[in-house]
Amino acid sequence: MSEMNHIEVVYALPQEQTLLKLRVPSGTTVAEAIRRSGVLQAYPEIDLGKNKFGIFGKLTQADARLRDKDRIEIYRPLRADPKEMRRKRAEEGKALKKGGGDPAA
């Protein structure tokens, strides 16, 4: 008899979070566990070829083997590039310093 691992599959949207607990045979991969969990049927926007995955916040590959008590996190694509957003905020801050503020204050 094959040893079973207890794992969790987590997917979060801005307004809701899904946490699915399941038991999988020892040696199951991240992708296999995601398929078994049913999360792909509930959230068809998840694409195993495009989405990134992590185990407890550390990026991992779809073919990584799971261990008992692992938590798979399915990450959504970023809507905006974080570097671009920081650059825009920095430019806005410079514009405020140049012409902003009340000189009497």
Q: Is 44 exposed, middle or buried (0-12, 13-18, 19+ CB in 10 A)?
A: exposed
pLDDT at 68 over 80: yes
pLDDT at 84: 76
Quickly state the pLDDT bin for 92 (edges 50, 70, 90). Answer: confident
pLDDT at 83: 78
Distance CA 46, CA 75 (A): 9
Taking the domain 4-99, which CATH number applies? 3.10.20.30
pLDDT tens digit sequence for 28-58: 999 999 999 999 999 999 999 999 999 999 9
pLDDT at 26 over 60: yes
